[in-house]
Structure 1
Amino acid sequence: MPQQPKPYEHRTYTHLQLIAWEHFTNDATKPGDEPKVNPTRPDEDANKPPVAIFDEKMAVDERIRLKRLYAIVELAREKLKNTDSSKTLKIFMTPEFTFRPWKDASSKAKDDGIGKGNTYTREAMTRIISKLRELFSHENYRDWLFVPGTILWSEPVKTEKSTILGSKLVDDYAFFNTAIMFKGGAVNAPFTCIHKHAVSDSDKVDASKSAEKNILFKDLLAKKDDPKFSMIGHNVLDTDGLRFGLEVCLDHGAKILKNAVMRDYFVKQKGEGPCVDVHLLVACNKAVEPANFALYEDGYFMRVDGDLGVAKMATQMARGYGLLPYKSSSIFRCVPKNEMPPEYAEAARKAQQAKDASEGKPAKNYQDPEEYLGELPVVNDRPIYLSHLDEKGQTLLDPAWVEKPTGALETWAPEGTQRLVAYKPQPFTPVKLQLP
């Protein structure tokens, strides 16, 4: 008799572990070969056999991408089976645009869940979210938190178009870029979803079609500083005594989590301290901005980026900080000022000297850090300091293991652009601050 899912129960964790599926999401990719996996769930009638989660009636594009993500998670779970602990919360993250459909110009595209502008339909988006929750509600994932990138989808709308004879309403669309974050292991485990605000040309979308710019969705996607903003608390998920904050790409640069969510919502409305325990970022070509971390000391910042150029980088410049280690996924820890590695600033000084030499300028020693670093940003009168080192001085960025997916798990991706990376578990004690 199949085991029925258990309800969500509070768990206590001593360690956090980032597991990142690094893959290319700059542009739409073909769904690729279908992985040979067939996950099931218990039937509502406990006397009946398990029910397959996927069937042939489901649209091909979304079914293949969902199966691939499930198979990647199972690959990670298999790799962890000899070292895993129920006291370690696994945080599985994938880049922005993980769910972006392949271009399909056929008249049958909408029936297959693909809408205008190379987006999923609302119905397809709903199915994807439903299936993700269903896939990972099994007890095997009770100690996992899932952040499976974003889903690019659209809603049909009417827009006004000027003609020689006047104006008329024409069929159009507005797109959303939606991220979800949820705890695994139970059908009623904590869950939230957020919609990205900022749009970039590098997103390979028509920015004028963003739902952010459409008056029809004003109540749902109001400006981040609007006190009536209905989604403002959704960037935060509380589970198991931990508070997670999530941003999507350019929203990190706009301080959506730190200012709009943590200050305006949790401070002003709930009387709670403006911090999260773990700040998460899913992106496709977004530099880390430490001044925008919604963290206090000992909190963690974790990210994964789907830009192909980022995968080839070793460092990034952060104003006021210096050259930070940079790759497709990473972890940083918030620390006291005296624990921020001096190598960040020193690397920036040497880079500036090299730049001067290449431009034929006289050699300069640069005694004043602001000459080559810029001024350290101070947001809300509180500077942020970070480190890629743990308390023992060991780097957080050396993976525990790296796996390169093969077979149907790699055929869709440009060669050499994806890895499954598990970082070492990090000790952690949550911080909860109540305001007086």
Structure 2
Amino acid sequence: MYYNKVQFIGYDIYTGPSNPGTVNAAYTGQLSDIDDMNTRIGLMKQAISTASSNSAVDNNSGVLKIFMAPEFYFRGRHGGYDIAMMTGIQGDMSAPSLIDELATAVSDSRYGDWLFVFGTAILQSFDPKTNTYETYNVAIVQKGGYSSTDDQLANRVVIMKENKSSIDYLQWPASGLSDFNTAHLPALGDASYSKEINTPGGGGGGGFNGGSIFHIDNITFGLEICLDHAERRLVRAFPQKGQLYVQIQLIPSGGMSIVSSAVAASPNGLVFSVDGLGASGGGGYGHHTVLNRVNFSLPRDLSDLDDIAVYNTAPVHVSNPDLSKAFYVPSGQDPTLRFFSPEPMTAQVAAK
């Protein structure tokens, strides 16, 4: 599919702990991780349905719609889900497969021109030898409109966060994962463009090798989860001769803003950030969404990022009792959908 324009939709929702910044800070969610995941999937479906029905959406087939939620959307009351819940727990038909449920949620043909970044999921496995939990922070990206599982897989990637932040896990939670008993997935090592390539449905791990660069519909995307952006993961994977620059840089985060020196998108490229921890303008706890266009020529002038204003907003989850089951809502920070006007698609540029 060829797209000449792209429209960004941010799912602004606070995904941090309850009572943030206090000794009573706690992970939010339901006692049962299965119930919790199902509730969050239901809320995600509602947000997507509300977004797709909004008059601000350009339904022209030449416009790619990108819908993104923030980091930590799927984590639950215990700080993370058992890693088996990513693909389903064998023998437990009541346990959802997160990736399958999300792919099914956007399988309708009306989502054929949509790309979804479902925030991130925190997954964990326990190592009894070290008495620690190995944790994985992953972003699930799915192109919509595919009903067969093979086509869904061929249009999906899973990106793993490399860098654990000091605020990713609570230090003294009443229950669940703590910063002191978690071992984060180790980094890939020396950064390179080739190592970061994540091939949907095959090649580099069937879209599950964790790399941050992927190609869907002839568009080169780069995705960094929160601290990976500040650590310049994509910039360090700079393309070599013949390799394609990132056209669209995506940053789902929980406590991060766009860092000019970490922008890896090509000249005239687009950088999209959805954060689930900090309120807009640095005004305490909440959420914010930012879209920038890169306005420089190589070599880069890092000051040239043009802010693109939000075109329309819409409330979501109004009067839905499931919201409080899964998420804490800071005062004045109700979940909101933020729509940007369609932007011209950035041209492909290969390194020379």
Q: 1:69: Cα distance to partner?
A: 0.3
Bigger share in helix:
1
CA contact (8 A) 1:291 1:383 kept: no
Alpha-carbon distance change, 420 to 312 in structure 1, aligned in 2, over 3 angstroms? same
Instruction: Describe the superposition over 1:352-396 as per-residue Cα deviations: whole angstroms up to 9, x where unpaired.
Output: xxxxxxxxxxxxxxxxxxxxxxxxxxxx9633343435xxxxxx2
Alignment of 1:376-391 (within 5 A): 382-389=300-307
Corresponding residue for 1:423?
339
Instruction: Describe the superposition over 1:95-123 as per-residue Cα deviations: whole angstroms up to 9, x where unpaired.
Output: 100001113xxxxxxxxxxxxxx310011
Corresponding residue for 2:29?
30
Q: Secondary structure at the match of 1:59?
A: helix
Is 1:246 the counterpart of 2:246 in the alignment?
A: no
CA contact (8 A) 1:297 1:335 kept: yes
Q: 1:16: Cα distance to partner?
A: 1.2
CA contact (8 A) 2:50 2:316 kept: no
Q: 1:209: Cα distance to partner?
A: 4.5
Corresponding residue for 1:141?
111
CA distance in 1, matches of 2:348, 2:303: 19
Corresponding residue for 1:84?
59
Corresponding residue for 1:75?
50
TM-score, with normalisation over the residues of structure 2? 0.77
Q: Secondary structure at the match of 2:129?
A: strand
Q: 1:75: Cα distance to partner?
A: 0.8
TM-score, with normalisation over the residues of structure 1? 0.63
CA distance in 1, matches of 2:57, 2:290: 24
Corresponding residue for 2:328?
413
Alpha-carbon distance change, 398 to 381 in structure 1, aligned in 2, over 3 angstroms? closer
Q: 1:21: Cα distance to partner?
A: 1.0
Alpha-carbon distance change, 30 to 16 in structure 1, aligned in 2, over 3 angstroms? same
Corresponding residue for 1:370?
none
Q: 1:417: Cα distance to partner?
A: 2.2
Q: Alignment identity in percent?
A: 24
Alignment of 1:287-326 (within 5 A): 287-307=257-277, 309-311=278-280, 313=282
CA distance in 2, matches of 1:256, 1:210: 22
CA distance in 1, matches of 2:86, 2:196: 18
Aligned length: 305
CA contact (8 A) 1:181 1:191 kept: yes
CA contact (8 A) 1:190 1:237 kept: no
Match of 1:222 among 176, 188, 197: 188
What letter corresponds to residue 48 of structure 2 in structure 1? V
Alpha-carbon distance change, 386 to 426 in structure 1, aligned in 2, over 3 angstroms? farther
Q: Give unpaired runs (5+ residues) of structure 1.
A: 1-10, 33-56, 104-117, 161-170, 316-326, 338-379, 390-395
What letter corresponds to residue 86 of structure 1 in structure 2? S
CA distance in 1, matches of 2:258, 2:77: 29
What letter corresponds to residue 302 of structure 2 in structure 1? I
CA contact (8 A) 1:191 1:237 kept: no
CA contact (8 A) 2:6 2:345 kept: no
Alpha-carbon distance change, 292 to 142 in structure 1, aligned in 2, over 3 angstroms? same
Q: Give unpaired runs (5+ residues) of structure 2.
A: 18-26, 88-96, 171-177, 199-210
Instruction: Describe the superposition over 1:171-214 as per-residue Cα deviations: whole angstroms up to 9, x where unpaired.
Output: 432111111212111141521111112122222244454544xx
Is 1:267 the counterpart of 2:240 in the alignment?
A: yes
What letter corresponds to residue 151 of structure 1 in structure 2? A
Alpha-carbon distance change, 421 to 335 in structure 1, aligned in 2, over 3 angstroms? same
What letter corresponds to residue 13 of structure 1 in structure 2? Y
Q: 1:12: Cα distance to partner?
A: 2.0
Moved over 6 A (4+): none
Alpha-carbon distance change, 61 to 419 in structure 1, aligned in 2, over 3 angstroms? closer
Alpha-carbon distance change, 229 to 429 in structure 1, aligned in 2, over 3 angstroms? closer
What letter corresponds to residue 251 of structure 1 in structure 2? D
CA distance in 2, matches of 1:428, 1:139: 24
What letter corresponds to residue 12 of structure 1 in structure 2? Y
CA distance in 1, matches of 2:123, 2:57: 39
Match of 1:159 among 129, 142, 159: 129
Q: 1:58: Cα distance to partner?
A: 9.3
Corresponding residue for 2:8?
18
Instruction: Describe the superposition over 1:250-274 as per-residue Cα deviations: whole angstroms up to 9, x where unpaired.
Output: 00011111213xx2xx527xx314x
- Pair member with larger Rg: 1
Q: Secondary structure at the match of 1:149?
A: strand
Q: 1:72: Cα distance to partner?
A: 0.8
CA distance in 1, matches of 2:323, 2:311: 21
Corresponding residue for 2:135?
175
CA contact (8 A) 1:149 1:282 kept: yes
Alpha-carbon distance change, 137 to 267 in structure 1, aligned in 2, over 3 angstroms? farther
Is 1:202 the counterpart of 2:172 in the alignment?
A: no
CA contact (8 A) 1:17 1:422 kept: no
CA distance in 2, matches of 1:90, 1:31: 32
